[in-house]
Amino acid sequence: MRRARETAVREWRNQDSADTFRARLGPFPALIRRSMTTRITFLGHGTFEILTAGKSVVIDPFFTGNPAATLAAEDVSPDYIIMSHGHGDHIGDVIAIAQRTGAQVIASHEITEWLGARGVPNTHAMNTGGSHGFEFGTVKLTIAHHSSMLPDGSNGGSPCGILLRLDDGTIYHAADTGLFYDMKLIGEEGIDLAILPIGDNFTMGPDDALRAVKLIRPKRVIPNHYNTWPLIDQDANAWAERVKSETTCEPIVLEPGQSTSLS
């Protein structure tokens, strides 16, 4: 598993040198970049790695103390880290990974200030509704109905969902949230892949997550934030069957360590 993942990352990072070459080709680079398929790997709980445009982007890097994790924090070397909120099961290993790799951390202003005070210099502060272009694509932070206290009790700002506009499609990672009707507006962005929590108790459960699919109308959906602990145990395959029977969306149930492509 680890060896296969390292090979995949090397292959994607080899595209960095190709990017320099393509930049000299005039109108062709955009067409070539669109032919590169984004790869999404579920790393357990709410953690995902997205390999796109030759870059590794990790969302909510929670490995240490995560019973669902198939990798350790030292096994990942992202170029970027995106934080949805400040809870310990999401902020996880961000400090150690960012200090080791120099990855830029994209998060709310409050979280970037908190990280900066703890020796993470390479951050990019954002806030709800804002968008910004990076090397791999555009990040827009959406609302999320949750909380965001940091592990030491500090204010983590507003929790956020994450909208990624990439060369080959658009991903909406709802992060930890309850159901809200504005998901219909997010769906108007044209969502190719939605990532939705189904664990209940702390986030939406299966019923509300199904309602979210109906509001967002994504082409495909991945459930997450379940089965990490008994309190959020759910039958993801049963949920997927409901998605198939009640919507036109394709559900994709990934075990930690498994991957899928965006297109």
pLDDT digits (tens, 9 = 90+) for 102-117: 999 999 999 999 999 9
* DSSP codes of every residue in 182-228: THHHHHTTT-SEEEEE---SSS--HHHHHHHHHHH--SEEEEES-SS
On the question of pLDDT at 244 being above 50, the answer is yes
CB atoms within 10 A of CB 16: 13
Strand duo 80-82 + 48-52: pairing: unpaired
Give pTM, 2 decimals: 0.87
Structural domain count of the chain = 1
Quick one: tokens of 203?
Answer: 């986030």
> Sheet harboring 48-52: ordered strands across?
123-126, 104-108, 80-82, 55-59, 48-52, 39-42, 259-261
Q: Is residue 63 assigned to a domain?
A: yes
Average pLDDT, the chain: 90
pLDDT band at 263 (very low <50, low <70, confident <90, very high): confident
Q: What is the rounded CA–CA span in Å between residue 205 and residue 45?
A: 14
Q: What is the rounded CA–CA span in Å between residue 177 and residue 170?
A: 19
Q: Is residue 185 assigned to a domain?
A: no
Q: What is the rounded CA–CA span in Å between residue 27 and residue 156?
A: 43
The domain that holds 110 is classified in CATH as 3.60.15.10
On the question of pLDDT at 9 being above 60, the answer is no
Q: Is residue 103 assigned to a domain?
A: yes
pLDDT per residue as tens digits for the range 159-217: 999 999 999 999 999 999 999 999 999 999 999 999 999 999 999 999 999 999 999 99
Q: Is residue 1 assigned to a domain?
A: yes
CB-CB contact of 226 with 45 (8 Å): no
Q: What is the rounded CA–CA span in Å between residue 240 and residue 225?
A: 15
The boundaries of the domain holding residue 24 are 1-127
Q: Is residue 245 assigned to a domain?
A: no
Percent pLDDT > 70 in the chain is: 86
Q: What is the rounded CA–CA span in Å between residue 77 and residue 18?
A: 20
